[in-house]
């Protein structure tokens, strides 16, 4: 999800760039400080920013901000780092660093680099000397590779340690030594080659630890993430877009000073993580271990066009060998902005249907028996425009429907509707269906909004 350019001004007359949204630096800063500190920093930043400058928020990682407080030289006093653009050049990103001298903020240095978007900013010690490096990644467009520069602040001077092109990158502790590494994945669209380079600390210097060729005949790489692959092993998860309707996830481990892919020869060479669309790895169940997402097709949807299939997002953990272990299933509807965790008691006995051309605001969950094709409605999730909700709610009450409001705020109201009567069923099927019905509390526990809905 792209973050908008944000204008910086405490005095509106000072910046008139036409950004539309005017914010002060403290509203863009995530570092803890008192109100007095923020006011002082605001004034200092405004003093040293070029006329007409706009503070800009890095696209990655999610918690990035336009203004940061970091101790860049380990002297016990933080510096203020601000990122900005000017109205003079769309392809230039500026960096301003302020330092404190006798209680006053003074300009330490500033510089500009070529790029029209600030793709990545991180402050992390990559060399093991307890002094953070500044990682700044700049991009020129969605289909172009980016460029990462790594800087250190040494005796008041900013030194560039490395400059390297990349498609995606990840920072984290890959080898389990509590020291972060940097992984850069570069895909050459013209030569159809890809390489992953791993950098880390060696004698308190930033060094290349390993290099690994990756699949190059693909559309591109979309995300990289370093995190727990199991309780005792960290891993690098790389998301690849293979083609128009195909994607996969690679997992790389650091073992005995080398990179290893545990899935390389799994299942007679078949790609265990193949999926029709990208589905990024994440810690879906908040257990501290990263899960790999793979789409699964609900039963009874074989005749549907691919674009109309209500795919299930199934998540798996590495099993510690060469396979995957299933963890949980979710149904996600990005157009409606909803996520529903499939209840454990539904496993292997449910299906999903949507009617995108008839009623695109509803999703139906059914008990489904594969052999007999028998299905019974268990739950309907519906999105209703806020201005239409009162009328829709009155209709539900007139029909004596059992429903629970799971999302009230925003442009769309989300309501879950439980069927109020069952069709004629055999006693055994009726008993099974009744056991699968959800209480209102269970519905609330399994639902969550998608904040990046379309």
Confidence at residue 11, expressed as pLDDT on a 0 to 100 scale: 24
Token pair 């002060």: residue: 24
Closest CA to 445 of 312, 365, 339, 368: 339
Domain range list for the chain: 27-127+148-156, 167-336, 351-449
Q: pLDDT of 329-347, one tens digit each?
A: 999 999 999 999 999 999 9
Q: pLDDT of 238-294, one tens digit each?
A: 999 998 889 999 999 999 999 999 998 555 667 899 999 999 999 999 999 999 999
262 contacts 253 by C-beta, under 8 angstroms:
yes
pLDDT band at 20 (very low <50, low <70, confident <90, very high): very low
pLDDT band at 147 (very low <50, low <70, confident <90, very high): very high
361-to-32, 159, 197, 333, 384 alpha-carbon distances in Å: 42, 54, 45, 10, 7
Sign of CA dihedral 17, 23, 29, 34: positive
pLDDT at residue 19 greater than cutoff 90: no
Q: Where are the beta strands (DSSP E) in 115-189?
A: 117-124, 133-139, 146-154, 157-166, 168-172, 181-188
pLDDT band at 141 (very low <50, low <70, confident <90, very high): confident
Rounded Cα distance, 295 and 317, in Å: 14
Torsion of CA 260, 263, 264, 270, to 10 degrees: -170
Average pLDDT over residues 72-99: 93
Sign of CA dihedral 283, 284, 286, 289: negative
DSSP secondary structure letters along 393-449 = HHHHHHTT-EEEEEE-SSSEEEEEEE-SS-----HHHHHHHHHH---HHHHHHHEEE
Q: pLDDT of 291-316, one tens digit each?
A: 999 999 999 999 999 989 999 999 99
């Amino acid at each position: 999800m792209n973050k908008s350019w944000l204008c910086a001004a405490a005095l509106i007359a000072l910046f008139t760039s036409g950004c539309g949204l005017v914010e002060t630096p403290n509203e863009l800063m995530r570092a803890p400080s008192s109100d007095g500190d923020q006011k002082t920093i605001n004034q200092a930043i405004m003093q040293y920013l070029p006329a007409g400058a706009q503070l800009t928020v890095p696209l990655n990682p999610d918690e990035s901000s336009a203004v940061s407080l970091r101790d860049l030289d380990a002297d016990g006093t933080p510096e203020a780092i601000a990122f900005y653009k000017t109205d003079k050049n769309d392809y230039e990103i500026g960096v301003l660093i302020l330092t404190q001298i006798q209680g006053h903020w003074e300009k330490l240095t500033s510089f500009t680099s070529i790029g029209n978007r600030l793709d990545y900013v991180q402050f992390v010690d990559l060399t093991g000397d307890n002094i953070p490096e500044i990682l700044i990644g700049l991009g020129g467009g969605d289909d172009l590779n980016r460029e990462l520069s790594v800087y250190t602040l040494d005796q008041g001077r900013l030194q560039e340690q490395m400059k390297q092109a990349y498609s995606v990158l990840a920072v984290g502790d890959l080898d389990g030594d509590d020291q972060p590494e940097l992984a850069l994945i570069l895909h050459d669209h013209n030569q159809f080659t890809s390489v992953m380079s791993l950098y880390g600390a060696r004698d308190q210097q930033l060094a290349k630890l390993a290099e690994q060729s990756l699949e190059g005949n693909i559309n591109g790489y979309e995300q990289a993430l370093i995190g727990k692959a199991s309780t005792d092993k960290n891993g690098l998860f790389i998301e690849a877009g293979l083609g128009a309707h195909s994607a996969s996830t690679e997992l790389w481990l650091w073992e005995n000073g080398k990179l290893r892919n545990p899935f390389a020869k799994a299942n007679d060479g078949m790609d265990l993580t193949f999926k029709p669309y990208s589905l990024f790895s994440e810690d879906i169940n908040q257990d501290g271990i990263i899960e790999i997402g793979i789409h699964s097709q609900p039963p009874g949807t074989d005749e549907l066009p691919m674009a109309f299939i209500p795919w299930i997002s199934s998540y798996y953990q590495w099993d510690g060998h060469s396979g995957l272990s299933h963890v949980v299933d979710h149904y996600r509807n990005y157009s409606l902005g909803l996520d529903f965790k499939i209840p454990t008691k539904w496993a292997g006995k449910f299906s999903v249907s949507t009617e995108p051309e008839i009623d695109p605001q509803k999703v139906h969950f059914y008990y489904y028996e594969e052999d007999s094709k028998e299905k019974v409605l268990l739950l309907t999730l519906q999105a209703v425009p806020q201005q239409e909700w009162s009328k829709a709610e009155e209709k539900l009450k007139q029909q004596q429907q059992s429903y629970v409001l799971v999302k009230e705020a925003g442009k769309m109201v989300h309501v879950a509707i439980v069927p109020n009567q069952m069709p004629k069923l055999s006693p055994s099927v009726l008993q099974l269906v009744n056991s699968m019905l959800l209480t209102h509390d269970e519905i609330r526990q399994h639902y969550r909004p998608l904040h990046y809905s379309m």
